[in-house]
Amino acid sequence: MFDRLSEGLQGAIKSLSGKGRLTEANMREGLKQVEQSLLEADVSYDVVQSFMANVTEQALGEKVLLSLDPSEQVIGIVRDELVEVLGKEDSALSLDHDVNVIMLCGLQGSGKTTTTGKLARLIRESGGKPMLVAADLQRAAAVQQLHVLGEQLGIPVYSEADSTDPVKVCQNGVKKAKENDANVVILDTAGRLAIDEELMAQLVNIDRKVQPHQVFLVVDGMTGQDAVNSAKAFNEALELDGVIMTKLDGDARGGALLSVKSVTGVPIKFIGTGEHLDSLEPFRPEGMAGRILGLGDILGLVDVARQVVDEKQQAELEEKLQKGQFTLDDFKNQLASMAQPGLVKRMLGMLGGPMAQMNQMLEDEETEGGIRRTVGIINSMTLEERRDPTVISGSRRNRIAQGAGVQGNEVTQLIKQYEQMKPMMEGMAGKGMRERLKAVRDLHDSAMTNPLGGVQRTKKSTGTRLSSKDKRNNRKEREKLLKQARRRRR
Ligand SMILES: Nc1nc2c(ncn2[C@@H]2O[C@H](COP(=O)(O)OP(=O)(O)O)[C@@H](O)[C@H]2O)c(=O)[nH]1
Ligand SMILES: [Mg+2]
């Protein structure tokens, strides 16, 4: 669905990634591509203009989440604006009358009759009792087409042979609803090839005399701005309650879908995604925006970052990293923020690839326990020690170990680990959360799986010193792990 548009938007966003800090100049360049993609998708010009104004204002504004890459942030902003343009989710049918009358109208071939069947099916699935009325007396085969659908679905269809008055057919049909034990009546009305006065007059007449509770316009999503124009005209004549956009499974470019709400103010209620009777979906703007951007993993990351990450803390950390002041306390905060139940798992899952494999490890109780242990050790240090662990002498080390309930060498190893990490973290000033998370995680992992550098593994005393061969092997192993960790980070 909307492949070209998706490709265009993704390309625009890709051009922004890997740029480190975004400047106004390169941001504008990327946003220009976003604009181009929207125009190529046949989104209405005015909609594109206001879309771009809003996105640009936010992207260049001060609302920058330090925890995200700038390009990731732009994706978030573009997504939000797509949702805004698509409108609020609004697919409730509010069937609260004894007999609810829904009128479908639209141009010929837009998919009214098919949608009548699809909608009836959805209504029945959610417990309603639908009935169909064949009010298209324009085309000879139209009545028959609806009967075929009704039979397929096992849903009653009301029609009148030889009638020439659609208003009468609709009125009689609604009267028959109770007899048919139905509480929803769907009127399948006639269409013309283009909007004409006679068609509108007929529909207005039905609207006035039958007084449907809801009037939906069925539009063909493949017709681009024509769909939007017909929606405008129908809305002026009929006060539409909603739009059902069909044929989005084909090579619709997306322009109609992205324009219709903004141009007409009428919400999209359902979308048709195939010829089959089960291909009607309630319209979900958020899901659709994600589908169009096709960057589910990054969008998930953006959402988590917005929810969970303490922006203030991130800003402070950023400043410290830039000044080369990454302390044990900061290390602890990073670890502690990752120890929130489920957080790391969610993030790693979304990042995919090798990071996702770590999910497994996180299920291991030991890992979270490990983080808690590390945090416990740092908590047992004085402020001075946390800022500058070189002051930690043998006796201080024992005091800390006792306070945290760990062995003295675990304290030493933690400090070593921190010292390895400090330059790496500081080297990441300005980088996104993704890289930073990876680095913390990798270091913690390599420490854990490494018998010499491990914080979690207490070295068991065997009573003998390691042979020099063992030591060499251990060192090799450690270097290998560190190299792997670094490679993963790249
Ligand atoms: N691919 C696709 N075809 C559709 C969809 N909705 C309707 N159609 C097709 O569009 C054509 C016209 O549909 P119809 O319901 O007869 O339109 P009407 O003249 O407005 O009643 C038929 O061939 C339908 O199968 C859809 O969502 N996707
Ligand atoms: Mg029809």
Residue 128 confidence (pLDDT): 94
The verdict on the CB of residue 189 being under 6 Å from ligand 1 is no
The verdict on the CB of residue 114 being under 6 Å from ligand 1 is yes
Regions in the chain scoring below 50 on pLDDT: 62-64, 350-366, 448-464, 489-490
The verdict on the CB of residue 250 being under 6 Å from ligand 1 is yes
Buried b (16+ CB within 10 A) or exposed e, 294-331: bbeebbbbbebbeeebeeeebeebbebbeeeebbbebb
Answer yes or no: are the C-beta atoms of 85 and 288 closer than 8 Å: no
> Which residues have CB less than 5 Å away from ligand 2 (the ion)?
112-113, 142
Q: Per the structure block, which two tokens stand in for 343?
A: 């957080």
Residue 241 confidence (pLDDT): 93
The verdict on the CB of residue 230 being under 6 Å from ligand 1 is no
Residue 342 confidence (pLDDT): 55
Residue that is written with structure tokens 């009653």 in the block: 156
* Whole-angstrom distance, CA of residue 70 vs CA of residue 63: 11
Answer yes or no: are the C-beta atoms of 441 and 338 closer than 8 Å: yes
Residue 429 confidence (pLDDT): 66
* Whole-angstrom distance, CA of residue 221 vs CA of residue 245: 5
* Whole-angstrom distance, CA of residue 198 vs CA of residue 210: 18
Residue 330 confidence (pLDDT): 81
How far does residue 130's CA lie from ligand 2's centre (Å)? 18
How far does residue 112's CA lie from ligand 2's centre (Å)? 5
The verdict on the CB of residue 116 being under 6 Å from ligand 1 is no
Residue 369 confidence (pLDDT): 66
Residue 235 confidence (pLDDT): 94
pTM greater than 0.85 (yes/no): no
What ligand has the least distance to the C-alpha of 190?
2
Residue 257 confidence (pLDDT): 93
